[in-house]
Structure 1
Amino acid sequence: MTVQVVLVHGIRTSATMWRSQVAYLGERGNPVLAVDLPGHGSRMAEEYSLDGAFSTIDDAVQDAATRGPVLLVGHSMGGLVSIDYVGREVPPPVDGFIAASCTAIPRGVGLATYRALARGFDALPDRGMWLTDRMLDRTLPAETRADFGAGGYAFDTQDLALRSLSVLDLLAALRRIHVPLWFINGQFDQLRANERLFLTVAQDAELIVVPRTSHLVTAMRPGVFNALLNVAITALEARQSQQPRET
């Protein structure tokens, strides 16, 4: 059976951030769904909630699992929420998991500082878009530059979404994950703070650090990230071929 892929975006952005990955997976022959979480992208008018985010991911995963093994891929906030989802006491039908740019525990001073910076940025003229555009113009390649914000930016959802992350017990969730897990970080990612702890706690995990890359690893180095998707899918295909056939 063909590996199915579900992609979960990070905070403020939307499913459009995955356009390069969606195109690559289509060429590879793997069905893929990039979801929009509540309050983001095509669902900007909805109110964000953690339960709504879990429900969105679960609906996509449960549907994909009817057609084949599932690789779940989450970036940043989407990765943190997906860690909690995959690590439920009753495991969902996820066969492999990529957690990108999300190896930090979102609590305490770190989360408070991040929220304060986000609120300060949002208070700038034009909600800081002039600075965001300048930064993205300098760091993202032409092939993905338009994708990151094509679905709009969820400014009004940002603080609520960040605040909701504080209830996640990521270490407990990681201990319950028993499927292949790949942590993928950019070398200069600010959310690398707890990557060694995450790697120690997780049962079947690998850490891949992409050199000369920021937090936006999927968009900044799309070719590298797509190659890593291929590694994960190939690993799941190999595991599937080794499973005994039912008679």
Structure 2
Amino acid sequence: MPTEVILPKVDMDMETGQISRWYAKEGDSVSKGQLLFEIETDKAAMEVDAPASGVLRDVKAAEGTVVPVGQCVAWIYAEGEDYVAAASKPDVAEPAVSRKAVEPAALVPAKVVTESLQVAPATQSEGVRATPLARRIARESGIDLASVAGSGPKGRIQRKDVEASARPADAKPAVVIPVAAKTGDAPLHTVWLRQGNDPARVPFVLIHGFGSDLNSWRPMLAGTTLDNPILAIDLPGHGESSREIPADIDSIAALVEQTIATHHAGPVVVAAHSFGAAVAAKVAARGNLDIRALTLIAPAGLGPEINGAFLQGFVRARSEPSLLAWMKLLVQDESLLTKSFVKATLAQSQDEGLRGAQQLVADRFFADGTQVFDIRRNLAGLIIPVRVIFGAADRIIPAAHASGLPGDIAVHVFAGTGHMPQLEQREKVVRILREISRSVQ
């Protein structure tokens, strides 16, 4: 029997979600665990994997559609399984076709759902990007969304934007919350991965490692209960940031610093991985931002050794087999290298400009397979809480580099873990971040 694909509940108080992107289309063959679609709520963006292998059929919710939790958005038919077109199916869904079936009332056709959630013309304009909660508040307040400036990613209108529009000009907000600037205002590409359950909390700033991008943090955040707003940054030569590579790490730190300041003027907590962790340490040491705490995951810059063969092999790899061979060095548990993860990384490898920029990063900062910079002095001068996290089985940067750090820096070394503790020990890393968040409020 075909398997339902339903809209999952990713927040405790979530009632609806907007499908922001499909990664497969009608008639595509998909594999279980493959990245299928992305949903957005007012608090989070969440990637959803295919629950079964087969052929994707009857995609009911187009990109931009707001769907109730539990609603069926598509079906997956096993290879060779007889398919009956949606037009000839009964109007009432059959809840017995899948072990994931929900109550029939939640399985109304997508068209009906869309119509029931439509906003009156006075509060919804064609092409306006807004979260479901922002649309509801606008409808109830009689506000035309076309007149509201969005502060979210790509100008998307958030709850706070609608509330600010409704507030008298001389009134002051109850709390100060982060406001994302337009993309052109900051030197590096950024995305608010979460607006947070409690906007009064100090935001997290996340910085990825070499060869990655800001989306690499999404698996760590999936299903977690961090209440903080979360801003993620693409380093130069990575993701959607500029391909121009600064001459030294201090110059990269200055770009990161300017980017954070553009998006948020108050205190922040910074968590970063690998090469990004070295950049984060430099940013903290510069002292130009109000950084309340620092978490460095498998940080570069604590010693000269690094797996130079991995850096060069990863940058040169253009086929899935060659790329996967190097990616296996990142983790101890190879099951974490999901098809969607490998597919996304492979897509980046086809961008010659991107890989050329990353080759320059490798040549400039890891010349001859050596880390040519040092962050120990930077860490020694910090008076904020610092935590360093390593995997004992890291095959890229030796966990032994964590030795000899100042005694007031907390060091966590996880057994049976490679270069990506944020994936391999996700719950423990998130718990550390949650503890840090509570300590700086």
TM-score of the two chains, using structure 1 as the length reference:
0.76
Q: 1:193 Cα shift? A: 2.8
Q: Does the CA contact (< 8 Å) of 1:7 and 1:73 recur in 2?
A: yes
Note if 1:187 corresponds to 2:392: yes
User: In structure 2, which of residues 231, 239, 256 is the aligned counterpart of residue 41 of structure 1?
Assistant: 239
**1:78-121 deviations in whole A, cap 9, x for unaligned?**
00111122122x453100000110165354xx25xx33543245
Q: Unpaired segments of 5 or more residues in structure 1?
A: 238-247
User: In structure 2, which of residues 254, 275, 280 is the aligned counterpart of residue 82 of structure 1?
Assistant: 280
Q: Does the CA contact (< 8 Å) of 1:84 and 1:169 recur in 2?
A: no
**1:119-159 deviations in whole A, cap 9, x for unaligned?**
24545663831424666782417598469738835532334
Aligned residue in 1 for 2:210: 11
Aligned residue in 1 for 2:293: 96
Cα separation, partners in 2 of 1:24 and 1:66, compared to 1, 3 Å: farther
Q: Which range moves more in the overlay, 216-225 or 155-164?
A: 155-164
Cα separation, partners in 2 of 1:122 and 1:54, compared to 1, 3 Å: closer
Q: Does the CA contact (< 8 Å) of 1:5 and 1:33 recur in 2?
A: yes
Cα separation, partners in 2 of 1:82 and 1:147, compared to 1, 3 Å: farther
Mapped partners of 2:439, 2:343: distance in 1: 28
The structure, 1 or 2, with the larger RCO (C-alpha pairs under 8 Å, 6+ apart) is 1
Q: 1:5 Cα shift? A: 0.5
Rg comparison, structure with higher value? 2
Mapped partners of 2:403, 2:411: distance in 1: 9
Higher helix share: 1
CA-based RMSD: 3.2
Note if 1:174 corresponds to 2:379: yes
The one-letter amino acid of 2:213's match is S
Matches within 5 A, 1:1-247: 1-23=200-222, 27-43=225-241, 46-49=243-246, 50=249, 53-63=252-262, 65-67=264-266, 69-88=267-286, 90-102=287-299, 104-107=301-304, 110-111=305-306, 114-120=307-313, 122-123=315-316, 126=319, 128-132=322-326, 138-140=334-336, 145=341, 149=345, 152=348, 154-162=354-362, 163-164=364-365, 166=371, 168-190=373-395, 191=397, 192-200=399-407, 204-237=408-441
Q: 1:187 Cα shift? A: 2.0
Q: Does the CA contact (< 8 Å) of 2:385 and 2:409 recur in 1?
A: yes
TM-score of the two chains, using structure 2 as the length reference:
0.45
Give aligned-pair identity as a percent. Answer: 21
Q: Unpaired segments of 5 or more residues in structure 2?
A: 1-199
SS in 1 for 2:295: strand
Size of the aligned set, in residue pairs, is: 226
Mapped partners of 2:377, 2:431: distance in 1: 30
Cα separation, partners in 2 of 1:19 and 1:117, compared to 1, 3 Å: closer
